[in-house]
């Protein structure tokens, strides 16, 4: 028999749409146990808690005061990610949160400083990059299958989340938009593949001032757009590679790929970084088509929350966790620098960096 694992006890703040995917991972991860749930909607908190034999509590303060909460799973809206993380660290709890880490650089810096002062860990989504899709692609790059990386492309093109989300307004308020909402998946993957970003050139627009909810009980209601909804740019990586990025809530149909990486000896095609797995294909120089690569790295059959499970393992082993707040801070900085570049009409230098994180799986 193996050594028995003492689960990290989790208090979940926020029981909205994304929580179902985390609950599925919490139900199967032997090193995690959900003990408490709170949400602004008590009915949602009770429903989520019931699935795991946890307790629904009335407020964040009540949750943070519990002795059976070692770490907070922060699934709140982006505008309050930092507020919840700071409250958790002040209570001496580890934190793992949804992306982005915070809405501003100052908030991100404050969260990291508070965690260091409290001696607790902070992790941040996306952990999709720990799956077999991105990690198999990374191993192909590391093994030299495409030679020296030259360029990459990353495209996220949708007509907007109001097409499916019943309460989509927060996607269009400060802290939202296609870049801050979906960019973390793509930019985190590009950093795993190619390393940190040193400079950014961006452009952005907001073609519509209002949107209409298309799904759920509020269908037909209109709301204001307060952020850019089409963002494009060039990321200059420290290794010399250039990544072209398009993040849009204004494209109704497209045949663009998700992520491709091109080098001196070939090209790679990777699956959607908002998923954990999928085909990774190689087009070697002078070949006549794509070749499917076997899975060679990453967590298989992973789901949202694998980053939190890795944090628990890392705590027990005394090693760094992979879905780190430091990486998330660099991703946030890259995104905000891209938006600043778009506003100023010039290339700007990123204010942070991050060593390429260890491979997963």
Determine the Cα–Cα distance for residues 182 and 253; give it in Å rounded to an integer: 17
End-to-end Cα spacing for the chain: 23
Determine the Cα–Cα distance for residues 355 and 46; give it in Å rounded to an integer: 41
Could you tell me which residues come within 8 angstroms of residue 240 by beta carbon, excluding any fewer than 6 positions away?
149
Determine the Cα–Cα distance for residues 174 and 35; give it in Å rounded to an integer: 32
Determine the Cα–Cα distance for residues 101 and 127; give it in Å rounded to an integer: 13
Of 17, 93, 99, 139, catalytic: 99
Give 268's strand partners.
Answer: 261, 282
H helices of the chain, in order, are 19-28, 42-52, 60-64, 81-90, 105-118, 132-142, 177-194, 306-317, 325-344
Question: Taking a C-beta distance cutoff of 8 angstroms, is the pair 296, 156 a contact?
Answer: no
Q: Residue 37 corresponds to which tokens in the numbers above?
A: 């749930």
- Dihedral, CA of residue 66, residue 72, residue 73 and residue 74, to nearest 10: 110
Q: Residue 113 corresponds to which tokens in the numbers above?
A: 């400083």
Query: Active-site residue 265, yes or no?
Result: no
Chain CA centroid to CA 131, Å? 13
Catalytic residues: 99
């Amino acid at each position: 028999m193996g050594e028995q694992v003492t689960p990290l006890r989790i208090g979940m703040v926020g029981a909205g749409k994304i929580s179902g995917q985390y609950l599925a991972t919490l139900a199967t991860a032997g090193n995690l146990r959900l003990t408490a749930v709170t949400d602004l909607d008590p009915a949602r908190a009770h429903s989520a808690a019931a699935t795991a034999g946890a307790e629904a509590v009335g407020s964040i303060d009540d949750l943070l005061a519990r002795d059976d909460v070692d770490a907070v799973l922060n699934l709140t809206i982006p505008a309050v990610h930092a507020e919840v993380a700071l409250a958790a660290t002040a209570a001496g709890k580890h934190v793992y949160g949804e992306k982005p880490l915070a809405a501003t650089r100052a908030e991100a810096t404050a969260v990291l400083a508070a965690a260091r002062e409290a001696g607790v860990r902070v992790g941040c989504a996306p952990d999709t990059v720990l799956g077999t899709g991105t990690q198999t692609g990374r191993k192909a790059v590391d093994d030299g299958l495409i030679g020296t990386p030259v360029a990459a492309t990353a495209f996220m093109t949708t007509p907007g989340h109001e097409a499916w989300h019943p309460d989509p307004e927060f996607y269009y308020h400060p802290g939202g938009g296609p870049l801050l909402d979906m960019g973390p998946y793509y930019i985190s993957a590009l950093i795993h593949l190619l390393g940190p970003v040193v400079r950014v050139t961006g452009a952005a627009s907001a073609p519509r001032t209002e949107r209409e909810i298309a799904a759920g009980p509020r269908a037909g209601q209109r709301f204001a757009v307060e952020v850019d909804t089409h963002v494009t740019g060039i990321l200059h990586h420290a290794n010399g590679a250039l990544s072209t990025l398009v993040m849009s809530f204004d494209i109704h149909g497209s045949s663009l790929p998700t992520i491709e990486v091109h080098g001196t000896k070939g090209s790679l095609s990777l699956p959607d970084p908002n998923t954990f797995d999928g085909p990774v294909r190689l087009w070697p120089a002078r070949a006549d088509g794509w070749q499917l690569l076997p899975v060679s790295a990453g967590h298989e059959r992973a789901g949202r929350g694998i980053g939190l499970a890795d944090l628990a393992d890392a705590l027990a082993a005394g090693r760094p966790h992979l879905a780190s707040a430091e990486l998330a801070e660099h991703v946030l900085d890259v995104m905000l620098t891209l938006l600043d570049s778009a506003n100023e009409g010039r290339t700007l230098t990123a204010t942070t960096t991050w060593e390429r994180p260890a491979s997963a799986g």
